[in-house]
Amino acid sequence: MLEGLKVLACGARDAVKLCATLLERAGAMVDFAAADSMDYDVIVISSDMDDAAGWKASDASIVCDITATSPQDSRSGTPWSDAQIQAMSGLMDTTGFAHGAPVRIGIPFTEVSAALYASAAIASAVRVKRTRGIVQNIGVTLSGCAASALTTFLPAAFARRTAARVGNRHPACAPWNAYRTRDGWILICTSTEEQWRKLRQEASVPQLDDARFETLSGRVQHVDELDALIETWTTTLATDDCTRICERIGVAAGPIVGIGELPREPNFRMRHAEAATSIETNGIDADTYKHVSIFEASVLSQTRAEREPETCEEGSNAPLAGVKVIEIGQYTTAPLVAKHLAALGAHVVKIEPPEGEVARSWLPGQGGTSYFFALNNTDKETIALDLKQESDRAHLRTLLADADVLVENLRPGALAKLGFTRETLGAINPRLVYCSISGFGIESAYPSRPAFDTVIQAMGGLMDLTRSDGAPVKIGASGADILGGQAALFAIVARLASRREEAGAFIEISMQDVAAWCALFAAGREPSRGQALACLDGHVWVEGDVTDAERAGCITLPKKVAAQKLAQAVPVVRVDELLEDGDFLADVLSAARDANGAFWPVLKVPYRLAKTPASVRAVPGAAQGFRRAPPAPARAPVPEDRPA
């Protein structure tokens, strides 16, 4: 992918180290100290933590600066930590239990996210330099990355509502929670009435037949009683036995895997035998995460074709102008990838089912389209196809014939069953870059197990590291979905930046791989100290140790006042409060129009390319289709991907 690229990584932030690791994984040669004899293609710095004076793009070097906030932010120049950015951005307030304090995410989420976005932005800039001779600076902010992860919570804020923390529950589905077993914890996630019926029959708890639990709304309303009854069943079983039962009846479930237990987790061990052996032999250290790959790339098929000369669309200065992308995606992962490819200038065609993607109708929204769908699908052309019909499959084949990228997050094998195997795709278009995103990967110990974001967080070690008063809790944002999508984005853009003239590529993303990579990185570093303290109107996050007097003193103070009185303290901002924050409104939030001229709140991308900027411009209208079904009934927002 990026073979021959010379990179200097000389910033103190975790994001710089992780970005360098990602570029190295894609084939670049990385130095962590400048060598006098080398000219670098890319230099990665963190100017708010280091003396980076003089590092600007030259005739030869792209410079990527990863900072906590942008230069225009009123808080710029301060080396804010990951935890402080989590608190200031609204991200921390989304994680934790409903009646508990906000919880710091157990991995340095904004640093990891910044590394992934920075790597994709660098690959874009490398492509621009190679094809057009333009060298430029790049800026990436942790605060922008945090905001980009809030797409399941911002819709409520746009509707002037506050989205409460839900712990391991789901705001619109039940049962959906972490339950104790005889020897640990298990996540059980039901999303349909059929799944609930099968789970109730398997549990054989008479009280579950109560009329209160007959409907979804009743189960959500009486969720405390429901969860208590479910746990009377799960506590009689070993975790593995309970997981096998759920898999047999088609209910998404999985154990909460401790970070030290990853080597014994069957899918992790199958896919990362070297890492599993290293952990068993040497434990987890600062380099263990490097043994886990967040993507696998291979040749799409044996059919080869010469690549057509790359061209830039007339009037466009965007990095991926002239690139055509087909997305067969839903909810978060694949739509996130294609959204950023579109922002970078690609022409994205999104394939939806005849009735449109279900997420279109979630509440809240406007004009029959949800804010969630709008945030995740900007700048796409949308087409409705029924891929069970040969005529529509033929139309897809026509679209793929001149495409550069296909990205999808269907269940493994689903596209192949429709006649689009890797070999078939290679025959249709030998130069296609095909990216498949799934929960456990194509080669998996769980070929039939459905995967939700929550289950992947549990089985990838993320929940073990994120705890509230000792209890494991998921990242409030759909962390496994988001990080998996970011990994796919980097892999695709790195492939598009490749110098090699070769056959098309197959890129595989397992969200569990990405989650484990993040968790192992966090487990291998010195843990930072800090805690959220209750205040009169919320909480403050304080770095380091806290005295009893400081804790008691905060209770009677507004959080802004408490933050001013305590060293290393910042307010824990609610997501709805961001809409009154001048820095958020100026640097993160933007407006886009749909085909009818209506304005929509959207998010700017968290990376800035100085000379060939990415931009968010429009919200898609209704999908153009051949046999449109009646609109789906409105549904509450679901902050998870459906089974991947």
| CA-based torsion, 304, 310, 311, 317: positive or negative | positive
Q: In this structure, what DSSP letter does residue 537 have? A: T
- With a CB cutoff of 8 Å and minimum separation 6, the contacts of 244 are none
131 burial level (CB within 10 Å; 0-12, 13-18, 19+):
middle
Measured at the alpha carbon of residue 66, what is the angle toward residues 63 and 68, in degrees to the nearest 5?
155
Angle (nearest 5°) at CA 568 between 564 and 570: 55
Start-to-end CA distance of the chain, whole Å, equals: 26
CA distances from 47 to 43, 50, 65, 453, 610 (A): 12, 5, 6, 34, 16
By the 10 Å C-beta count (0-12 exposed, 13-18 middle, 19+ buried), 298 is classed as exposed
Q: What gap in Å lies between CA 140 and CA 77, rounded to an integer?
A: 14
**Of the candidates 459, 402, 432, the residue with the CA atom closest to the CA atom of residue 415:** 432
315's torsion region: left (phi>0), alpha (psi -120 to 50) or beta?
A: left
Q: What DSSP state is assigned to residue 467? A: E
Q: What is the pairing mode between strands 471-472 and 538-543?
A: unpaired
> What's the rounded Cα separation, in Å, for the pair 95 and 617?
31
What is the residue type of 420?
F
- Cβ atoms 199, 245 nearer than 8 A: no
Residue of 48, 379, 481, 587 with catalytic role: 481
Q: Among this protein's residues, is 481 annotated catalytic?
A: yes
CA separation for the pair 364, 376 (Å, rounded): 14
Classify residue 39 by burial, with Cβ atoms within 10 Å: 0-12, 13-18, 19+.
exposed
Q: Which positions are catalytic?
A: 481
